Amino acid sequence: MHFNPRALFATLALLPALVVGQLSSSVGPLTSHTTKSATKTCNVLNYGAVADKSTDLGPPLASAFAACKSGGTVVIPSGDYALATWVTLSGGSAWALQLDGIIYRTGTDGGNMIFIEHSTDFELFSSTSKGAVQGNGYVFHAAGSISGPRILRLYEVTDFSVHDIILVDSPSFHFSIDTCTNGEIYNMAIRGGNEGGLDGIDVWSTNIWVHDVMVTNKDECVTVKSPSKYILIENIYCNWSGGCAIGSLSTGTDISYVTYKNVYTWSSNQMMMIKSNGGNGTVSNVIFENFIGHGNAYSLNIDQYWSSETTQAGNGVQLSDITFTNWKGGEAAGATRGPIRVICADGAPCTGITISDFAMWTESGSTQWYACRSAYGSGFCLHSGSTHTSYAVSTTTVSTAPSGYSASRMAADLSTAFGTTASIPIPTIPTSFYPGATPYTRSDRAGGGGPEEHAEGPLGAG
């Protein structure tokens, strides 16, 4: 049999992506939005919507969806729209929602402003990269409340993508990805208020690729929650944020095969935190690679006695086979909050933790520390050996900067946070999300894909 590599490559280019990194299969919609639009287009203006920033978009959007849910594209064209009643878009197959206008929250209910559930072969996008939802959360926050609605929630959606849209000032969480499969989230800007409870992206799903996203808030940047499996998160810009995390973890935790790669964090609570207090279950096979930090309170922070979480039943979540590699930059005050803090549960010591190629230095003062508790593996204060018993906190203080800690800065680093009492401006989507990394680009075709399609970039996944 004659082997023709050119013919093979041409054939593979037409197929869904192969398994790569921590993904288990292809991600994204099965049908391009061009094909969907050619099948049917449902413009909300034809169903009663008016771009006057006053007329409720909710009923027209629901009607347009009903007309296109079996195959087609729902279009919200450029203009300013008010959303007074929330929409649940349930069911549907081979459909898209094209958001080119700006939606302003005017309703006051809780829940989810836009809730998409039980859909397959779905795409939410802006054709201009200017489509946005302005949640006007400051109205709630100025009154001391974060119990308003989330902007966007997906539940039990398969083979989908969300991209090129902007979410601003949610009264509560900005974007939740709940029990979904084979999804891609990319080329987004999320900008929220400077207080807790205003998460950027939370995902608890299977086979999800999140990449090229910027988040500003003071809580979760891009966070994985339980249960999750096969999650790839890369080219993330936490620009004055709470930082990325896994957790909070509780009972029955089930998280595995997660990779965070190319994460830049500026003026945030932490670069990465795994947080729990009691509980049980497992977190395994996790990689944190290519992290750059500047001006953050914590850097690498595993805290299984996290005081902000009520103690859960159980001896602790078992953390195993977790790798931290190629971390650079600085922390705000290393004598107060050292760059490595691995505090594991005495009832379930961490095993297989690896910290390598890690060089960070304090941005104030002249010392920093590394602290470990009941943590086993290789690197810094971790204990070695095959007998994994609990041990008290072991702290190492150093007064000499490590070599190679200097790291690039992003030009768009914010000089101050956005408050909670005034409207937050709608940003543009950045052209870069990590120093030296070219954002991935997507082709308008069926089959979605995976990062191996873009390995030609300077920091392509692999």
pLDDT for residue 2 is more than 60: no
SS3 149: coil
pLDDT for residue 156 is more than 50: yes
pLDDT for residue 371 is more than 80: yes
Return the H-helix or E-strand segment holding 28.
Answer: none
pLDDT for residue 96 is more than 90: yes
- CA 161/CA 156 separation, integer angstroms: 13
pLDDT for residue 325 is more than 60: yes
So what's the pLDDT on residue 146? 85
So what's the pLDDT on residue 6? 34
User: What's the rounded mean pLDDT across residues 52-64?
Assistant: 98
- CA 271/CA 217 separation, integer angstroms: 14
Contact 300, 355 (CB under 8 A): yes
What would the two tokens of residue 159 be? 């083979």
- CA 4/CA 11 separation, integer angstroms: 11
Within its chain, how far is the Cα of 37 from the centroid? 29
What structural domains and CATH numbers belong to the chain?
A: 22-207 (2.160.20.10), 241-413 (2.160.20.10)
pLDDT for residue 128 is more than 60: yes
What would the two tokens of residue 462 be? 């692999």
Backbone angles phi, psi at 91, to 5 degrees: 85, -160
**What torsion do the CA atoms of 208, 214, 220, 224 make, to the nearest 10 degrees?**
10
So what's the pLDDT on residue 433? 98
So what's the pLDDT on residue 310? 95
pLDDT for residue 46 is more than 60: yes
Backbone angles phi, psi at 264, to 5 degrees: -110, 125
Q: Please tell me what DSSP assigns to residue 308.
A: T
So what's the pLDDT on residue 43? 98
Tell me the DSSP string of 390-438. Answer: ----EEEEE-SPPTT------TT--SS---SSSPPPPPPPPS-SSTTPP
pLDDT for residue 97 is more than 70: yes
What is the chain's mean pLDDT, rounded? 92
- CA 2/CA 138 separation, integer angstroms: 66
Handedness of CA 309, 310, 312, 316 (dihedral sign): positive
Using pLDDT thresholds of 50, 70 and 90, give the confidence band for residue 147: confident
Q: Which residues contact 438 (CB under 8 A, 6 or more apart)?
A: 432, 457, 458, 459
Please name every residue paired with 152 in a beta bridge, in sequence order, or none if there are none.
114, 175
**What is the gyration radius of the CA atoms in the chain, in angstroms?**
22
Looking at per-residue pLDDT, the higher value among 460 and 399 belongs to 399
So what's the pLDDT on residue 196? 87
pLDDT in tens, 430-452: 999 999 999 997 644 345 566 64
So what's the pLDDT on residue 453? 43
| Residues with active-site annotation | 219, 294
pLDDT in tens, 372-382: 999 999 999 99
Out of 24-28, 142-146, 170-174, 365-369, which region has the weakest mean confidence (pLDDT)?
142-146
Within its chain, how far is the Cα of 360 from the centroid? 24
Closest of 449, 404, 418 to residue 193, by C-alpha: 418
pLDDT for residue 457 is more than 50: no
The pTM is what?
A: 0.92
So what's the pLDDT on residue 50? 98
User: What's the rounded mean pLDDT across residues 268-285?
Assistant: 98
pLDDT for residue 458 is more than 90: no
Q: Please tell me what DSSP assigns to residue 192.
A: -
pLDDT for residue 143 is more than 70: yes
Closest of 231, 187, 224, 189 to residue 206, by C-alpha: 231
